[in-house]
A and B are shown apart, each in its own frame.
Chain A
Amino acid sequence: MEELGIQILKSLVSGLLMGLVFALVALGLTVIFGVMDIVNFAHGEFLMVGMYTTLLISPLLGVDPVLTLPLAGLVGAVLGVLCYFGLIRFLLRGPMIAQLFGTFGLMIFLRNLALLFMGSEPRIVHQGWLVGKSIVIGPGVVLESTKLAVAVLSLLSFAVVWWLINRTKVGKALTATSLDAEGARYMGISTELMNALAWAVGGASVGVAGGLLVNFWPVDPGVGLLFTMIAFATVALGGFGSVRGALVAGILIGLIVNLPPVWDAILRSIDAVGLRGLDIHSFKYTMVYAIYFLIMVLRPQGLFGWKQ
């Protein structure tokens, strides 16, 4: 029984930390969707670009990976703005299908560009302030300092974005654009600028997420898809366009992904022979998709959504 208790605590902690990572990845997606009703399939590829930025810039400048985060954010923001003015602006004129495919083309393009320049082998940051360090907070419960840093920065990013949207004039303009773009235009708001801003904020947040993630998650050109899907699930769970929802849903998904060890511990503690064969480790992402599907069907607007 004691083992079960420790395992639950362990899963709770690592689920919470991982959840904050997922939430940070999803933050950019929900901001972009909230403002302009467009689903960015290339979101995971933006993350990949952020990861590679930190990976390459840090040895180039000779500074610690953590210090390159602003640069990763900047690269993400520039990429977002470039994509907006180069592609998304034109897609907005077309039907929804065209938008889906435009961003899909972007995803294929970025992924294979990375393959062309970086090769297919997975890479990770090998040394830095955060790598390999951990804080022990109890018997068997270990906080990895990389994940802890991501969690803290994730909360910080959420605070910044929340402040930006809810407490500033620019945020009001963003909200106005998302509620009624035409109306906002009549009020003298440059919706074009607001859309670009949304892409900049979205790109920056996901770039920072990538820069942090590469400290403990190996990057390869195909890394984006899993994160795109998790980000979709997170955003859908929380409600498209809801910043608060993304945070809560991200944590929820982090906890779900960390369920299998608890399940194993339960099986061990009650000595259930019949259920031994039921290995749910390979289902951890399946559970995410399934729950996402259920939520979509039962409550299409998500937990905190206001857009239908």
Chain B
Amino acid sequence: MEAVKNAFDFGDMPRNELGLAAVVLAFLLSFPLMPHSSFGMATMIQFLMFSLYGMGWNLIGGYGGQVDLGKAQYVGIGAYTTAVMMIRWDVPFWFSMPVGMALAVGWSFIIGYPLFRLKGHYFAIATIATSLVLKDLFEVWNFVGGARGLEIPLKGDFPNWLYLQFREDYYYYYVILGMFLIGFIYMNGFRHSRLGYQLRAIKDNEHVARSLGIDVHWSKIKAYAVATAYVAMVGSFHACYNFNIEPEDTMSLDLSVLIAMMAMLGGAGSMWGPIIGAAILVPMKNYLGSWLGGQAGFAGIDLALYGMIIMFIAAAQPRGVYGIVEAMRARRR
């Protein structure tokens, strides 16, 4: 009961932030009713997906200060579990998603135990290594389709709620919006939970945290598992949304980095950070891509610009966009 009360307790947030959140929520709920292009809809779905990925990253990377650059491996596990179960055994999405999450969490325990003996750069690079090993294995594993990946066949008429197959994108939109809201509420609860406080203590100073009786290693592993569940959940959704998955687009280093970048750009270690980051980066990437990338002779200019913007933000405000907000608030006081 305490946990549920915590999850809905937004009392420690500033009034104006809550007001803004309400406006955003109203916008998100009513977006499909407004006139929009299908490109805009796809961008919104991607925005919600990356917000959730970012929340997962933020849990361990932001609150815990453990920079993880291997999140894509859990996207892959979630996506592949759903796809394989759906293709081979006709298992509905709503059943395969929890299984995928469980598998991903299991894997996170296996690699998390040795991983968290490392710190800083060493941890970050080791997570890349595990992710790449898994990706390489999936690329040669015939059971999951090898490098060509898997194609999910249609399972009957649209709209198919059981297998999450729709013709119109707004169905997907509301499914991922539901996940987004649950994820957000859960995150709020996590913030107030025992583990949440432990994690922030670890981030501030590990030695002090240990002297306070916190089992540092185990707390990190637990938080890592929660973060993994977020990412794997969206990975399962990704499989149904795209109908087609391959190791390159679900497990690549680029995806891991993109996930981490969103959270870090918005402001690591805050509730709004990943959402702000995804709200900036996803549209920017999509629109820059369609605006500049499509023109002949200009291939790459969109991503070059994108790289420049990332460099600029990392150099100018290392605490991200939310860091700017906080700095402004501190000045006003």
- Residues of chain A touching chain B, judged by Cβ–Cβ distance below 8 Å, are 33, 37, 39, 87, 90-91, 93-102, 104-116, 119-120, 221, 225, 229, 232-233, 236, 240, 282-283, 285-286, 289-290, 292-293, 296-297, 300
Contact = CB atoms under 8 A, between A and B. Distances in A.
Contacts of A282: 136, 139-140
**Among A90, A93, A115, A297, residue most surrounded by chain B Cβ atoms (within 10 Å):** A297
Nearest to A110: B307
Nearest to A305: B122
Contacts of B268: 97
21 contacts: A87-B311, A90-B315, A93-B318, A96-B120, A97-B61, A98-B264, A98-B318, A102-B315, A106-B311, A108-B307, A108-B310, A109-B311, A113-B304, A221-B300, A225-B253, A285-B132, A286-B132, A289-B129, A290-B133, A293-B126, A297-B117
Interface string B118-154: 1011101110111011001101100000000000000
B303 A108 contact: yes
Contact of B301 (A96, A101, A112, A232): A112
A32 to B, nearest CB: 12
Contact of B124 (A100, A108, A111): A100
B87 interface: no
A62 B61 CA distance: 52
A300 B118 contact: yes
Given A39-B121, A283-B136, 7 more contacts: A87-B315, A95-B318, A108-B303, A240-B122, A286-B137, A289-B132, A290-B129
A305 B117 CA distance: 17
Contacts of B115: 297
Interface string B290-314: 0000000011111110111111111
A10 to B, nearest CB: 25
A304 B129 CA distance: 20
Nearest to A120: B299
A97 B136 contact: no
Nearest to B147: A282
A224 B163 CA distance: 40
Contact of B129 (A87, A105, A233, A240): A233
A97 B306 contact: no
Contact of A39 (B125, B307, B308): B125
B261 interface: yes
3 nearest A-B pairs in the assembled complex, by CB-CB distance: A94-B318, A109-B307, A115-B300
Contacts of B136: 282-283, 285-286, 289
B114 interface: yes
A40 B252 CA distance: 19
A261 to B, nearest CB: 18
Contacts of A106: 307, 311
B307 A112 contact: yes
B200 to A, nearest CB: 15
B69 interface: yes
Nearest to A286: B136
A283 B140 contact: yes
A105 B304 contact: no
Interface residues of B, number: 49
A150 to B, nearest CB: 25
B261 A104 contact: yes
B303 A97 contact: no
Interface string B270-301: 00000000000000000000000000001111
Nearest to B265: A101
A236 B69 CA distance: 16
B118 A297 contact: yes
A39 B128 CA distance: 13
B132 A229 contact: yes
**Among A93, A111, A292, residue most surrounded by chain B Cβ atoms (within 10 Å):** A292
Contact of B314 (A102, A113, A292): A102
A263 to B, nearest CB: 15
Nearest to A284: B136
A73 B120 CA distance: 31
A244 B129 CA distance: 23
B185 interface: no
A109 B307 CA distance: 4
Given A116-B298, A236-B125, A293 B130 contact: yes
Contacts of A286: 132-133, 136-137
B316 interface: yes
**Among A93, A106, A110, residue most surrounded by chain B Cβ atoms (within 10 Å):** A106
Given A105-B311, A286-B133, A296 B122 contact: yes
A113 B308 CA distance: 11
B67 interface: yes
A278 to B, nearest CB: 11
A96 B121 CA distance: 8
B216 interface: no
B310 A101 contact: yes
A148 B260 CA distance: 41
A68 B330 CA distance: 55
Contact of B122 (A225, A233, A300): A300
Given A286-B136, A296-B126, A112 B315 contact: no
A99 B299 CA distance: 27
B257 interface: yes
Given A115-B299, A286-B132, A102 B311 contact: yes
